Amino acid sequence: MQKSRLKSYEAGLDGQFDDVIFLPLGGCKKEVMSKLPKGAFIDDQMRVLRPVVEAGHKGFLFDRNYNQDACPNEMQSFNIHRINCISQV
């Protein structure tokens, strides 16, 4: 699973990332992210972005059909920006 995920990242992001960290299923992103230097974090789910932003990182919601119902007020309160392309970060 990790190898296929890495191949997908390499194909879609064309080397625009420094590292990929895999957590166990249900692993706490906030705990891990709070130990890393502050930076940008991109995901397509608000539930994933919330704890990452709470850990001090900038959050970007990758626009997908299934996340159109993300609450604009919640996004604003967490300072999360919706993006369509990685180049917008």
Question: Tens digit of pLDDT per residue, the chain (89 long)?
Answer: 778 777 777 766 666 777 778 888 888 888 888 999 999 988 999 999 999 999 999 999 999 999 999 998 999 999 999 999 878 88
pLDDT recorded at residue 68: 94
The pLDDT, as a whole number, for residue 83 is 94
Phi/psi region, residue 73 (left: phi>0; alpha: psi -120 to 50; beta: rest), is alpha
Give the model's pLDDT for residue 15: 67
Q: Which spans in 1-89 are helix H? A: 2-13, 29-33, 46-54, 72-77
The reported pLDDT for the residue numbered 4 is: 79
Q: How many C-beta atoms lie closer than 10 Å to residue 84's C-beta?
A: 9
Q: Is the pTM of this model over 0.95?
A: no
| Annotated domain spans of the chain | 23-88
